[in-house]
Amino acid sequence: MWRVGTVVALHDETATARTITLEVPDWPDHVAGQHVDVRLTASDGYSAVRSYSIASAPNSERRVELTVERLTNGEVSPYLTQQVAVGDRLELRGPIGRWFVWRTQQTEPIQLVAGGSGLVPLMAMIRSRAAAGSTAPFRLLYSVREPGAAFYRGELQALSDLDPSVTLTYAYTRAAPKDWPRPPGRIDATLIAHRTWPSNLVPTCYVCGPTSFVESVSSLLTASGNDPDKIRTERFGPTGERQ
């Protein structure tokens, strides 16, 4: 079932990523981690559908925020990040998915691992936790190319400052800030060992990012003693343009 949402706000997160806030009158509310399909239809009838994770926590205003990263050869993301204007209407299908979700009644330790724009559904979980007043301990390990590519930095810092049970670790892959303790590089076993929950606390892990990232992080989490059944994953890539 397709719904129509109206763009009510636009906010640039980075040079290539934009958050689109939609108001959807018949929105049935969502659970953190879910996504929507967005359908664009050209005047000749050609249409393209892409999946985007919901960034916002469930709310009573029937608002849905999507953060979309522009892909160089993308068919849909350049439009969503450069041309969409406040007042435009977009077709949506969703909310979709009941597996890669965090529910506010979960109390166990939560390990979030994001690669690039894979942070989006995990941010919905962090926002949902804050909105619900949950005390579930959260750790986020966020792998990002360089400091300027990080999403929601100020908000994440503020949430973490306010509540010590939310801890953040940035892992830069190409360029790190000056004096950063770790040279740029991918997430490795050492980082997993030092910056994620010990496996004996039996955290539920949510891993989202490009396919190669998800495969590598899931293997590292499993190797460090986490039960594969406690690792939930969501992959995106050029084929689905999921961001």
Query: Which of residues 163 and 215 has its CB atom nearest to another protein in the complex?
Result: 215
Q: Residues 94, 109, 118, 137: which binds another protein (CB under 8 A)?
A: 94
DSSP count for the chain of H helices, then E strands: 5, 11
- Note if the bond before 203 is cis, omega within 30 degrees: no
x-or-dash pattern for another protein, window 7-36, by CB under 8 A? ---------------------xxxx---xx
88 lies in the binding site for another protein (CB under 8 A): no
Residue 127 engages another protein in binding (rule: CB under 8 A):
no
CB of 182 vs another protein, minimal distance in Å: 24
- How many whole angstroms separate alpha carbon 176 and alpha carbon 184? 6
What is the Cα–Cα distance from 113 to 102, expressed in whole angstroms?
14
Q: Which of 41, 98, 148, 175 binds another protein (CB under 8 A)?
A: 98
> Starting from the edge strand earliest in sequence, which strands make up the sheet with 166-172, in order?
166-172, 138-144, 110-115, 204-210, 231-236
Site for another protein in 195-224 (CB under 8 A): 210-212, 215
Interatomic CA distance for residues 236 and 52, integer angstroms: 9
Could you tell me the smallest distance in angstroms from the CB atom of residue 237 to another protein?
A: 6
DSSP 8-state assignment for residue 32: B
For position 49 contacting another protein by CB under 8 A, the verdict is yes
Q: How far apart are CA 192 and CA 184, in angstroms?
A: 15
Q: Which is nearer to another protein, 97 or 137 (CB)?
A: 97
Contact indicator for 234, 102 with CB cutoff of 8 Å: no
The whole-angstrom separation of Cα 54 and Cα 64 is: 7
Candidates 10, 40, 96, 168: give the one binding another protein (CB under 8 A): 96
Contact present, 76 and 30 (Cβ < 8 Å): no
Provide, rounded to whole angstroms, the least separation between the CB of residue 72 and another protein: 18
237 binds another protein (CB under 8 A): yes
Task: By CB under 8 A, tell whether 113 contacts another protein.
Answer: no
The count of chain residues that interact with another protein, using the rule CB under 8 A, is 31
Binding site for another protein (CB under 8 A): 1, 28-31, 35-37, 49, 51, 93-100, 210-212, 215, 232-237, 239-240, 242
